[in-house]
Structure 1
Amino acid sequence: MIVLKFGGTSVANAENISKTIAIVSNKSNDDKLAVVVSAFSGVTDLLILAGKTAAAKDKNYKNIVAEIEQKHKAAIDELIPLTEQTEIINTINSNINHLKTLLDGCYLLGEISIRTADSVAGFGELLSSQIIAVALKQKVSNSEFKDSRELIKTNSNFGKASVDFEKTNKLIADYFDKNSNQVVLLPGFIASDTAENSTTLGRGGSDYTAAIIAAAVKASILEIWTDVNGMFTANPKIVKQAQPIENISYQEAMELSHFGAKVLYPPTIQPVLKDSIPIFIKNTFEPDVYGTLISKNPVSNTNPIKGISHIDKIALLTLEGSGMIGISGSSKRLFETLSRENINVIFITQASSEHSICIGILNSDADVAKEAIDTTFEIEISQNKIDPCVVEKDLCIVALVGESMKNHQGISGKMFSTLGKNNVNIRAIAQGASERNISVVINEKDVKKALNTLHERFFEDNTKQLNLFVMGIGNVGEKFIDQIAQQKKFLKDNLKINLRVIALSNSRKMLFDEEGISLKDWKNEVNNGETANVNEFISRVKALNLRNSIFVDITADYDIASIYDQFLSENIAVVTCNKIACSSKLENYKKLKSLSRKYNAPFLFETNVGAGLPIIDTLKHLIASGDKVNKINAVLSGSLNFIFNNFSETYNFHDVVKEAGVQGFTEPDPKIDLSGVDVARKILILIRESGYAMEMEDIENNCFLPQECMETTNNEDFFKSLTKHADHFNNLLKEAKAKDSRIKFVASFDNGKASVGLQFIPKESPFYNLEGKDNIVEFYTDRYIEQPLIIKGAGAGAAVTASGIFADVIRIGNV
């Protein structure tokens, strides 16, 4: 015999019930079946609400009953031919009248006893099963309805009755031995005590009903039909990449169900475990999908972790004090106190010093628990031997589950390091000697990040998802996004990096999509987005709290450069081509570096110097390997190099500067480049990265622009001033020709001093042949004394700058 159980979603409406009946009909051709059904979806909640409403002397309970009645009669109309409806309608009317009588009594008394509440709650399964039994008979004539209350006997612990298995097993076995029907349909959840009063088996009790019957008849298999394709490696509503688990042991399934895997009610496994009856979790709406097989010896795979689950709305209670050390009975008193208050302990950990005990309970029980514990230990607290109980709410338990974990070293280490890298703070840890479960308590706000991070680590072939929040989508930003779109598949296939752009913003509009913005038409999507707001952008990034979050700044904005600390302190990496932050006050530069280390949030700014050239990265490797930088000579402005390489008697200075802007080589405000401020920022960043303390004002800036040019306040006036002072620039060109030299804007650092300015470079210098927009840097170090380490290449342009930003993002992905 096979036992099948169909949950509330499987019998939510006439359409779903028809699917259920089709599954039962197909299976009845080969085997005898016992079919257990839940109440229609949502009906049990309505029944409980009706009871509370009646007890509150609110006549609205009658409207709730009318809604329940209408829902069931609508199902009759759709499922059962009109000619066959009389008997079932009479049955439903009788049950509804009984329900009304019970609720009328509650209304008159102004209260509802636990016995009456049990009886009221059980009507959902009774009504649904009677209707489905009649509908089933239209398809499978050799079928009948059986009231579970006649077979399952319990004590009188109303609300969550305990089964008398000796009586129950005999009643079930005798009934099915004598029954000749191919299919027997039974209501789940409900039972009766020795006085024939209705009892219930607790929420989720329909699973339990099916398991009790399966064990009693020694069924070949128990099938639990629901609305998902089995048990998953994590909650698929939170972890989109979660995968169905094909095979799992009883113990693993019990652990996962205990820790919130709602597809299976935890006590379900217990009755079938003794006889090793397999349990199959199947999807009513995709019956051909394999599902999950729970058995004694499941087919093993190479992954020791079977699933990741969690329980939310947890409070952590800590009892500690020197008065507990070496004193026997402290734990006993603590747990007896909680037992008296009927508080379930979900999580326990105790220090080996016996100085403290931590327990996890539901948030809703925390206040009662604290008051009771403080009362129990009142004397010790007054004597300062034990501290008052400390309560922390809004926590969550996350558990790794796997039977084979005990045979693999380092699982807990990987778990803790993975959470740590994403700044998920672990409040408490518990691991049993069986090593089947490793549990941690974390803040509830971090649960999505924690589950996704752990799932990525243990189930996704080490594929790392990077979530990008991009501000600045002009020339460089557009190239950056194009490069992501082009390389996305390659990165996932070859580097195991899954890039998702979660937010895009310019100065006018911003766009957020938690599932990732489609890059096919991103410009139109941004234009149709919401009004840009920096503070709102920051708040949204923090609220999403996604793993491996990266804020990408592709602006030259002072205000944007000032918000990096808000991201780094939330474990959000920062990648920027904006030089303002790293060339700001030394105190701020050090602060950002410190936050990056403290919160394990990368702070990368390779494109601050040399666009896509690996200048800063090379410098970091020099310093990390123990080398010391003594001197730097560099041409660090691709825009100025482009300008002076193209400036000639036939191509005037004004037009060359204009062209550099069109090519994307200058900042939006070209005066930043031509004034030397941009180069001064770059050499300052190199000096600081070399380990020296220096401020911007310590750098001597030998500006070549006339004072009038410097005093302009907008681009239009600036370009007019360039035309006005054309002779000044032409004279510089003549002087270079006279010296057989080329003009370069050079940055230097030597003996603790730094300067930037125009120089006339002779032919023998390596800087002389620097063409186009190229940069060059010479590092003189303890190891590179006579011949410097030279880095040379394109140092400006949207594409190369975008590639440098992209490279920083990939560096984070490879960490």
Structure 2
Amino acid sequence: MKVLKFGGTSVGSSKNINKVISILDAYAKESKVVCVVSAVGGITDKLLLAGMQAQSKDNAFKATFQIIKDVHFSIIKELNPDNSSSILNYAEEKLNELESLLNGIFLINEISPKTSDKLVTFGELLSSFIIAETMKNRGLSAYRKNAQELVVTNANFTKAEVDYSVTNANIKDYFSSAKENITILPGFIARSTFGEQTTLGRGGSDFTAAIVAAGLHVEQLEIWTDVSGMFTTNPKLVKQARPIETISYQEAMELSHFGAKVLYPPTVQPVLDLNIPIHIKNTMEPEAVGTIISNEFVASNNPVKGISNISNIALLTLQGSGMVGIPGFSKRLFETLSNEKINVILITQASSEHSICLGIEAKDVEIAKTAIDITFENEIALHKIDPIQVETNLSIVALVGDNMKNHQGISGKMFSSLGKNNINIRAIAQGASEKNISIVIEETDVKKALNTLHEVFFESITKQLNVFITGVGNVGERLVEQIKQQKKYLKDNLKINLRVVGLSNSRTMIFNGGGISLKNWKEDLSNGEKASLEGFFENAKSLNLRNSIFVDVTANKDVAGLYEKYLRESIAVVACNKIACSSTFSNYKELKRLSLKYNAPFLFETNVGAGLPIIDTLGNLIASGDKVTSIQAVLSGSLNFVFNNFNDTTKFYDVVKQAAAEGYTEPDPRIDLSGVDVARKILILARESGVTMDLEDIENIPFLSKAGLESNSVDDFYQTLIDDESHYQSLFASAKAKDCQLKYVAKFDNGKASVSLQEIPKGHPFYNLEGSDNIVMFYTERYSQQPMIIKGAGAGADVTASGLFADIIRLGNN
């Protein structure tokens, strides 16, 4: 004989009930079947709502009753379009009883536990009758047996306790002579020894199924629901969650206790005692494997079986020096909560005995606080302990696994991964069995925590990066296209799942926590919401995704001013914008400090040399114990392009315009030609070498004409280039007379730095520097005679984008 249970969702519509009937028909071809059913999905809640409305003298109970009636009548007619009269007559009779009960509650303005039990039984009585009669109409051998005639309890209404000796005898007696192939039983409902209607409490339908399965000693109990078994974590919050094929009773109960709604542990105690396996199956996908819960140990390389959570938790803390060494505080505390019928979900106590911390449901917090403060009123008045402290808007997240106790480092792995994502742990509880590690965190961090832990313990071969890019102009567009092109390669070869989740230009911005499709991203962005720097940050913060990276592809001072906010939220920052790192030294150091404090990397390789590994190489030199003594460099690809293309047959204005058109200069070319951009770069290298220095400490010897330096706008500046052509021709003529090349050189030596246009003689490493190339020569204690030289393309949208991309990948490899 088979025992199956179908929950409210499984019988929540005529479509789903047809699936249930198909499953039962298939099973009945092999053996007799007992099927326990819940009320139609949502009906129990509506029955309770109607009861509360009637009790409150709220005439809205009539509308709620009508909804209940309409739902059942609709299902009956859809299931039995040609033969529904007898079922409708029964439903009409039961619904008339329900209406009379609700009217009675309305008149006496009261609903007792006994009346409440009678009220909610209508749900299961109706659903079970409708299903059984529909099967009969279709020629199946089926019968609805009222479970109230089998399951006998005490009179503890709303959560009655089963009399197993009587109940088991009833079950064995009835099914020993039952002739039908399929017996439909209403779950959840029972009767007391005095014949009164009772219910079995939360998870009551599971409980009914477990009672019957145990009473009949079947080989397996099947619980059919709307998911394909118990999942590694909540699939609604973690897309990568997957069903667990096998799990122990203890693991299943731990996961269920901490929020996995598939199973309510107390209800399956009857089958647990007899070692009867439970198979969780999906009504919507009958062919899915599901989850088998048993006492059989199944070896696994992963000691963690699942991750679960409970929301709407409040944390209560009782503390005070007067608690230390004084027995009885714990007893009084828990006794107080017990008297108020408040369930304690989590407990942790400091070894100093100075405090006790416990988690309860948020709905009970006011009652708990009042009761505890009254209990300890004397100690609080004498300042031996503090008034109870309450924290709300919290959740519990738990790692569960029987085999966790045999593996070192599980806790460390858990805490470090959460810490890297700025998830603050408010309390920790771990039993001596080491089968469960529970933590209390902010409610807003639950999704990020579950995704982070699931990635660490179940998807360790692939790391997901969530990227927010602001400034998708010339360079930004190239970066997005490079990400699009390399996405598959990164996943297949580097095990990095790179998702762009936020994009912004100066006009609009778009977000998608699941990843923006890069197929038509330009069109989507053009239809996005109005761009806002603060709005972009707030969206990145509210999405609260693990491994988040903010990429700044602008030259905007206001964007750079937001780095601090991103870092404080543990969002890594990757920037080609040089403003932050060349701002005041105190701000530069503060960003570095925040990066370390909040485990949020701050990478800015493209600040100097675009895609060249200049800052990374310098960092490796310093980290290995070397010391930089001097730096000589050509750091402006734009200026190098300009002076490589300028001669006595060209005009300086034309060459600068060409450099701007090809993307080598900033939109305002004065930033490049004034030397400010190069000064910022040598400043960054000096700081990364360990030197305290600010921008005003760098000697900037200009080569622009006086009018060019004093120009008020970009247009005015370009006009000065035309007007002062002779000035620039004289610079070229001087270099040519000496057989030298003009190069804009940055120097750092003995704690001092300068930038200037210089005449470079033949034989010098800078002399043959072509196009927009950069070159850096590091003289260090180890490279004292021959410098370490880094040379290559130092400007251009593609190489700058590739430098940003390299920083993003570096974060993925950390």
- TM-score normalised to the size of structure 2? 0.99
1:17, 1:132 within 8 Å by CA — same for their partners in 2?
Answer: yes
Q: Deviations over 1:495-522 (max 9, x none)?
A: 1111000011000111111110111111
Match of 2:497 in 1: 498
* Correspondence list, 1:183-202, <5 A: 183-202=182-201
Q: Distance in 1 between matches of 2:87 and 2:299?
A: 49
Opposite residue 367 of structure 1, the aligned amino acid is E
Match of 1:671 in 2: 670
* Correspondence list, 1:353-392, <5 A: 353-392=352-391
Match of 1:100 in 2: 99
TM-superposed CA distance for 1:97, in Å, is 1.4
Q: Distance in 2 between matches of 1:646 and 1:560?
A: 34
* Correspondence list, 1:285-324, <5 A: 285-324=284-323
Any idea what SS the aligned residue of 2:153 has?
coil
Match of 2:115 in 1: 116
TM-superposed CA distance for 1:48, in Å, is 0.7
TM-superposed CA distance for 1:364, in Å, is 1.1
Q: Deviations over 1:340-393 (max 9, x none)?
A: 000000001112222211111011111211121121122222222222211111
TM-superposed CA distance for 1:239, in Å, is 0.3
Match of 1:516 in 2: 515
Any idea what SS the aligned residue of 1:498 has?
strand
1:221, 1:278 within 8 Å by CA — same for their partners in 2?
Answer: yes
Opposite residue 550 of structure 2, the aligned amino acid is F
Any idea what SS the aligned residue of 2:342 has?
coil
Match of 1:158 in 2: 157
* Correspondence list, 1:570-719, <5 A: 570-719=569-718
2:635, 2:776 within 8 Å by CA — same for their partners in 1?
Answer: yes
1:254, 1:269 within 8 Å by CA — same for their partners in 2?
Answer: no
1:638, 1:774 within 8 Å by CA — same for their partners in 2?
Answer: yes
Opposite residue 279 of structure 2, the aligned amino acid is F
Match of 2:23 in 1: 23
* Correspondence list, 1:405-444, <5 A: 405-444=404-443
Opposite residue 312 of structure 1, the aligned amino acid is S
TM-superposed CA distance for 1:559, in Å, is 1.1
What root-mean-square deviation, in Å, do the aligned CA atoms of Structure 1 and Structure 2 show? 1.2
Match of 1:282 in 2: 281
TM-superposed CA distance for 1:27, in Å, is 0.6
Q: Distance in 2 between matches of 1:305 and 1:406?
A: 10
Q: Distance in 1 between matches of 2:509 and 2:756?
A: 39
Which sits farther off after the overlay, 497-506 or 319-328? 319-328
Match of 2:38 in 1: 38
Match of 1:51 in 2: 51
TM-superposed CA distance for 1:81, in Å, is 4.8
Q: Distance in 2 between matches of 1:364 and 1:696?
A: 57
2:636, 2:744 within 8 Å by CA — same for their partners in 1?
Answer: yes
Q: Deviations over 1:302-349 (max 9, x none)?
A: 111111000011111111222222222221111111000000000011
Match of 1:720 in 2: 719
Any idea what SS the aligned residue of 2:499 has?
strand
Q: Deviations over 1:693-734 (max 9, x none)?
A: 111111111111112112223322222221111111111111
Q: Distance in 2 between matches of 1:603 and 1:62?
A: 62
1:306, 1:401 within 8 Å by CA — same for their partners in 2?
Answer: yes
Match of 1:344 in 2: 343
Any idea what SS the aligned residue of 1:82 has?
coil
1:761, 1:767 within 8 Å by CA — same for their partners in 2?
Answer: yes
1:80, 1:134 within 8 Å by CA — same for their partners in 2?
Answer: no
1:25, 1:139 within 8 Å by CA — same for their partners in 2?
Answer: no
Q: Deviations over 1:435-492 (max 9, x none)?
A: 1111111111111110000000000133111101100011111111111111111111
TM-superposed CA distance for 1:738, in Å, is 0.5
Match of 1:264 in 2: 263
Match of 2:176 in 1: 177
Match of 2:75 in 1: 75
Opposite residue 296 of structure 1, the aligned amino acid is N
Opposite residue 52 of structure 1, the aligned amino acid is M
Q: Distance in 2 between matches of 1:519 and 1:268?
A: 49
Which sits farther off after the overlay, 228-237 or 171-180? 171-180
Q: Distance in 2 between matches of 1:320 and 1:559?
A: 46
Which sits farther off after the overlay, 569-578 or 320-329? 320-329
1:19, 1:285 within 8 Å by CA — same for their partners in 2?
Answer: yes
Match of 1:14 in 2: 14
Q: Distance in 2 between matches of 1:559 and 1:59?
A: 58
Which sits farther off after the overlay, 563-572 or 707-716? 707-716
* Correspondence list, 1:227-238, <5 A: 227-238=226-237
Q: Distance in 2 between matches of 1:578 and 1:189?
A: 64
TM-superposed CA distance for 1:166, in Å, is 2.0
Opposite residue 682 of structure 2, the aligned amino acid is I
Any idea what SS the aligned residue of 1:11 has?
coil
1:317, 1:358 within 8 Å by CA — same for their partners in 2?
Answer: yes
Q: Distance in 1 between matches of 2:505 and 2:664?
A: 20
Match of 2:449 in 1: 450
Any idea what SS the aligned residue of 1:594 has?
helix
TM-superposed CA distance for 1:14, in Å, is 0.9
Q: Distance in 2 between matches of 1:711 and 1:3?
A: 89
Q: Distance in 2 between matches of 1:81 and 1:371?
A: 57
Q: Distance in 2 between matches of 1:618 and 1:172?
A: 78
TM-superposed CA distance for 1:300, in Å, is 2.8
Q: Deviations over 1:36-85 (max 9, x none)?
A: 111111111111110011011112212211211111111111112534x3
Q: Distance in 2 between matches of 1:789 and 1:333?
A: 72
Opposite residue 295 of structure 1, the aligned amino acid is S
1:457, 1:463 within 8 Å by CA — same for their partners in 2?
Answer: no
Q: Distance in 2 between matches of 1:224 and 1:368?
A: 36
Any idea what SS the aligned residue of 1:426 has?
coil
Q: Deviations over 1:190-224 (max 9, x none)?
A: 11112222111223311111111111111121111
Q: Distance in 1 between matches of 2:750 and 2:411?
A: 50
Q: Distance in 1 between matches of 2:806 and 2:346?
A: 44
Q: Distance in 1 between matches of 2:625 and 2:560?
A: 31
Any idea what SS the aligned residue of 1:75 has?
helix
Which sits farther off after the overlay, 551-560 or 87-96? 87-96
Match of 1:775 in 2: 774
Q: List alignment gaps of at least 5 residues for structure 2.
A: none
Q: Distance in 1 between matches of 2:716 and 2:40?
A: 75
TM-superposed CA distance for 1:787, in Å, is 1.6
Q: Distance in 1 between matches of 2:103 and 2:415?
A: 56
2:634, 2:745 within 8 Å by CA — same for their partners in 1?
Answer: yes
Aligned residues: 814
Q: Distance in 1 between matches of 2:196 and 2:702?
A: 96
TM-superposed CA distance for 1:298, in Å, is 4.7
Opposite residue 489 of structure 1, the aligned amino acid is K
2:648, 2:733 within 8 Å by CA — same for their partners in 1?
Answer: no
Any idea what SS the aligned residue of 1:122 has?
helix
TM-superposed CA distance for 1:661, in Å, is 1.3
Match of 2:249 in 1: 250
Q: Distance in 1 between matches of 2:584 and 2:568?
A: 19
Any idea what SS the aligned residue of 1:91 has?
helix
Matched, 1:138 2:172: no
Q: Distance in 1 between matches of 2:401 and 2:267?
A: 19
Opposite residue 74 of structure 2, the aligned amino acid is A
Opposite residue 796 of structure 1, the aligned amino acid is A
1:430, 1:439 within 8 Å by CA — same for their partners in 2?
Answer: yes
